[in-house]
Amino acid sequence: MSTSGPRKLLIAASLANLPFGTIYAFSVLLKPMEAALSLQRADMTLVFGLASVVLTFGMNIAPSLYRHVPIPALILSASLLSAFGLGLTALAQDRVSLIVSYSVLFGLGGGIVFTSVQQRVNQFHFVKRGLVNGYVVSLYPLGAMLGAPLMGWSIEAIGLRQTLGLLALCIASSGCVAALLIREPSTDRSAVEPSRPANETMTRWPLFFHLGLVFTLAASAGLMVMSQAAGIMQAYGAGLGTALGATTLITAAIAAARVGGGWLIDRYRLPHVMAGAQLWALAGAVWLSLWPSSESAIPGLAMIGMGYGLISGACAGAIAQYWPQRLFGLVASRLYVGWCLAAICLPVIAASLYDASGHYQYAVLIAGAVNLLALALALRLPTQPHTNR
């Protein structure tokens, strides 16, 4: 197999997913959107929460769609749907229209694209499958790392609605180019259309639930950091500029950890990689609990977030090892239900504890306990992958 095909595929995956990573930079839109639409913070929290739910729904319906629609066409259609949703978001006048345009249309298209891209990538027989899958799942935090400062600058320079319009144009354009770069292999159609029932994958329920539980626990702590990093930094005494800069660094660390998790799973056993990831996150929580300050918050939060990033990359690589290649997208989409649950668990608890106490110490302690539980569960994962394709 020539190297041009895989290279084009990874470029297409980057173009398709990077713009959708701005969903992780949603905090940039909070104050401008609240001012423009006269909304409360609770309204915006609802919009983001529903977007997370619909994004996960899109991930889960994608396997049913790409068994009937070519993946390039599906990526193009879903990207245009999300772009249309963002265009309507730029014109939104109230909470309902914001939910329909951003949470439903933008979120749905993003979820479909994410799973479809992962399935298409796993149709190729990459030698370092863990590393490749780690890179693909790193594209969302990378998109947030790049998109947050660009969106912030654009909102200041040309306004909120114009910025959303440009983002819609970016998603439509990148989706078109990604679809053009991807070609369905005529001899590998079985990777998209399994010859056996799709629910065959779910016969390994114990492994799936075990892996999903570790992923969900790690994601709860990691999403607490990703969703509230700037607020947590300020609660520990950092200024606004420092908090925003730290948020960018933390997001970059999480993106690097996702790539690292995939790289590690190619070389070391699954229980050791995942237990090590949660030990690292636990060390960050302990560090921040023992030395609560703005200086300690940067490495502490980065370590907690990196624990989730390592687990995310390792999970993508583990699915490629433990399940048949043709069913990667189906297993991954089901696993991401844990991401949805995580987004509405510890992050919400952390915000409630902050409202009640004015600090995040209790939330950090809970995150540490969650990491410890995930560590114990990770050590009990099976060590030998199933290699049947």
Which of 249-258, 276-285, 346-355, 372-381 shows the lowest per-residue confidence on average (mean pLDDT)? 346-355
Average pLDDT score, the chain? 87
Residue with tokens 């912030």: 152
Residue at 358: amino acid letter: G
Average pLDDT over residues 271-295: 95
Name the H helices within 67-185: 71-91, 95-98, 107-121, 129-158, 160-181
Q: Indicate the SS3 state at residue 17.
A: helix
Burial class (CB in 10 A: 0-12, 13-18, 19+), 173: middle
Residue 370 pLDDT level (bands cut at 50, 70, 90): very high
Q: Tell me the range of 99-103, 322-326, 351-355 where mean pLDDT is highest.
A: 99-103
The size of the chain, in residues, is 389
Whole-number pLDDT of residue 31: 78
Q: What is the dihedral of CA 230, 105, 315, 249, to 10 degrees?
A: -20
Distance CA 373, CA 72 (A): 40
Whole-number pLDDT of residue 204: 76
Q: What is the 3-state secondary structure (H, E, C) of 32-48?
A: HHHHHHCCCHHHHHHHH
Report whether pLDDT(377) > 60.
yes
Average pLDDT over residues 140-167: 90
Residue 373 pLDDT level (bands cut at 50, 70, 90): very high
Which of 266-275, 329-338, 372-381 shows the lowest per-residue confidence on average (mean pLDDT)? 329-338
Residue 221 pLDDT level (bands cut at 50, 70, 90): very high
Residue 194 pLDDT level (bands cut at 50, 70, 90): very low
Report whether pLDDT(193) > 50.
no
- Give which of 344, 341, 329 is closest to 112, Cα–Cα: 329
Residue 384 pLDDT level (bands cut at 50, 70, 90): low
Distance CA 259, CA 307 (A): 12
Between 203 and 220, the more confident residue is: 220
Distance CA 155, CA 162 (A): 8
